[in-house]
Structure 1
Amino acid sequence: MGMQIPFKKLMLLHIIFIACLRLSAAELQRFEHRLKHDGSLSFLVVGDWGRRGSYNQSLVAYQMGLIGEKLEIDFVISTGDNFYEDGLTGEEDPAFLDSFTSIYTAPSLQKQWYNVLGNHDYRGDVEAQLSPVLTRKDSRWLCSRSFILDAEIAEFVFVDTTPFVDEYFEDPGDSTYDWRGVYRRKEYLSDLLKDVDGALKNSKAKWKIVVGHHTIKSAGHHGVTKELLLRLLPILEENNVDMYVNGHDHCLQHISSNGIEFLTSGGGSKAWRGDRNWWCPEELKLYYDGQGFMSVKMTRSEAVVLFYDVHGNILHKWSIPKEPLKAA
């Protein structure tokens, strides 16, 4: 007969196990990034890109390198769907080198990349993208489910949006999703929303920016993500978030609504020509159905957002002023 574990010890192990699961879902890791000497911050945003250079991914990367050098960027943000069609098969999948390291080769892009997961990434080995093995292969790579980036004047909260979408659980079709780490989905999402709300409430930064893969407001193919509209948007509005930055729709897009700039940069490779839905023209500042990327340069008093096409042409420029904090 095998050794029996005493009931009290078994219960203690169970409690520790559940606590570990909740800790893994609830706590947001924090990273720091220093400003330039002049107090400014600049970065590029690209999404939906990992296709081994095809669908103009290499051309977008080339233009990113030129603009990155011009702006002296501090880092790059990826809005997810980093590897098509089905994420990575594992830590040794050559797609990592073929779609990332061998594509974004410009000197200006040899900076830290802050990456979130997209729905296509969840169709592969999610743990591989989160693994430090990839960082050892390419030191630029930093990917986590959700985390905080403190850049002094700006605080970025990166949110794992894929588990919010009911369709991936209820009607996944032929796709298989890797839900390891998303233990007890209801609790995972509840803890995540509490952490996002807490991080934004406690932030002393001049700028509050939330980054996720999925759209909240969009005139593109996927359109509005109703789960985020209902659960995440109220938190953004309550905490006076300045920007929500996303991918998912393969386009470049700017919607300005209720004091929040909704910025879609999902044109890193394959784009969907002519795939657009109606949106209130007073809110829709840009909709471009081709490849490209976005840049942001900010100081304490202003953020300037630019969208570029695959040839480096400026499609849209938007300046966002920031009022000085009033003395108490």
Structure 2
Amino acid sequence: MSISFLLTLFITSSLSSLSAYAQLLRFSHSSKHDASLSFLMLGDWGRRGAFNQSQVAFQMGKVGERLDIDFVVSTGDNFYDNGLISEHDNAFAESFTKIYTAESLQKQWYSVLGNHDYRGDAEAQLSPVLREMDSRWLCLRSFIVDSELVDIFFVDTTPFVEKYFTEPQKHKYDWGGIGPQKPDVGNVIKDLELAPKESRAQWRGVVGHHTIRSVGHHGDTQELVEKLLPILQANNIDFYMNGHDHCLEHISDTESPIQFLTSGAGSKAWSGDLQQMNRRGLNFFYDGQGFMSVQLTQTHATIEFYDVFGNVLHTLASSKQPHSFM
């Protein structure tokens, strides 16, 4: 099925009543003819081109063309400082459509919400109106992208974090469209326990906004360490990919093969903001602007981190034998 057909099916249903695969909507995205797949990933970006957002977008266009990418993934905090006011907010065009203009970036964008997105009209980013304005845009709370080669499970992590409910400080979070926190998070956890068990993909990745392991400003998100990490470890997840910390980093899990990949440097970065935790698994940390690419085949994964000038700062190469399912 084509993306446009699946979107039509989705638009005709309620945003809160997703079709059944577990309870997560599934989008099929075919691999290339040679059975490979490539995509770019960035997070924490929407600042109307400021803080080097435009320069990062320019380099993404160049890398996207070279790799012939299939799609782009956004790890959240899509619009600063407080999400979108409504589905007609001109920040959508000024921070997205008018910034990522390279021909190679005119592909499907799969996006999750971040905590800053919840400070505005969170449901505006989920609206079909935005997809009518720019057909590249697809943002949902939690869903699956399936290319046969890889299953990517997108998770709405903001409702996991207790302090947004109990200590919002001066911020107001838009919880419209989701149920009470504990049942909502519980349903997401059930979905994530079920969906990977049905996966027959060679590679498995999970995308969320918040960190699980990080040496950056926010550090670990304890609620995800307690509730999400055990599910990832039990289901042979290869990569957990996130934003939230405004940096690029690669940390290896010390208890499983999971690689924690942070790409939250799409615009404003936090120079010198480095903590002492997670040093045993730390492979790479960079506190400037940039983005990440992922290239997959049946046997190899190559992940590269780029700075604002397009330089490759770090490469993760991984390999595995093809799965054999009975």
TM-score by length of 1: 0.92
DSSP-derived class of the 2:110 partner: strand
Distance change (3 Å), C-alpha of 1:150 and 1:271: same
Pairing 1:1-328 to 2, within 5 Å after superposition: 23=17, 27-257=23-253, 258-326=256-324
Distance change (3 Å), C-alpha of 1:95 and 1:22: closer
CA deviation map 1:276-296 (0-9, x unaligned): 011444411110000000000
User: What's the offset of the Cα at 1:27?
Assistant: 2.1
DSSP-derived class of the 1:254 partner: strand
Contact 1:123–1:176 at 8 Å: present in 2 too? yes
Runs of 4+ in 1 over 4 A off after TM superposition: 20-26
Contact 1:21–1:183 at 8 Å: present in 2 too? no
DSSP-derived class of the 1:149 partner: strand
Q: Quick one: which amino acid aligns to residue 310 of structure 1?
A: V
DSSP-derived class of the 2:152 partner: strand
% identity of equivalent residues: 60
CA deviation map 1:152-207 (0-9, x unaligned): 11000000000000010000000000001221211111111000111111111011
Contact 2:30–2:148 at 8 Å: present in 1 too? yes
Contact 2:215–2:279 at 8 Å: present in 1 too? no
Contact 1:22–1:188 at 8 Å: present in 2 too? no
Contact 2:16–2:178 at 8 Å: present in 1 too? no
Counterpart CA distance in 2 for 1:87 and 1:171 is 19
User: What's the offset of the Cα at 1:22?
Assistant: 8.2
In the alignment, what sits opposite 1:10? Answer: none
* Runs of 5+ unmatched residues, structure 1: 1-19
Contact 2:86–2:124 at 8 Å: present in 1 too? yes
DSSP-derived class of the 2:302 partner: strand
User: What's the offset of the Cα at 1:244?
Assistant: 0.2
Q: Quick one: which amino acid aligns to residue 233 of structure 2?
A: E
Counterpart CA distance in 1 for 2:123 and 2:155 is 17
Distance change (3 Å), C-alpha of 1:280 and 1:226: closer
Counterpart CA distance in 2 for 1:159 and 1:327 is 26
DSSP-derived class of the 1:324 partner: coil
Q: Quick one: which amino acid aligns to residue 241 of structure 2?
A: V
Contact 1:297–1:303 at 8 Å: present in 2 too? yes
Counterpart CA distance in 1 for 2:240 and 2:280 is 18
Q: Quick one: which amino acid aligns to residue 88 of structure 1?
A: L
Distance change (3 Å), C-alpha of 1:247 and 1:150: same
Counterpart CA distance in 2 for 1:114 and 1:276 is 29
CA deviation map 1:107-132 (0-9, x unaligned): 00000000000000000001110000
Name which of structure 1's ranges 286-295 and 23-32 shifts more when overlaid on structure 2: 23-32
Counterpart CA distance in 1 for 2:204 and 2:323 is 14
Contact 2:41–2:293 at 8 Å: present in 1 too? yes
DSSP-derived class of the 1:245 partner: strand
Count matched residues: 309
Q: Quick one: which amino acid aligns to residue 68 of structure 2?
A: E
Counterpart CA distance in 2 for 1:270 and 1:21 is 31
Give me the CA root mean square deviation. 1.5
Counterpart CA distance in 2 for 1:22 and 1:49 is 26
| Structure showing greater Rg | 1
TM-score by length of 2: 0.92
Contact 1:304–1:318 at 8 Å: present in 2 too? yes
CA deviation map 1:243-279 (0-9, x unaligned): 0000000000000112101000000000000000114
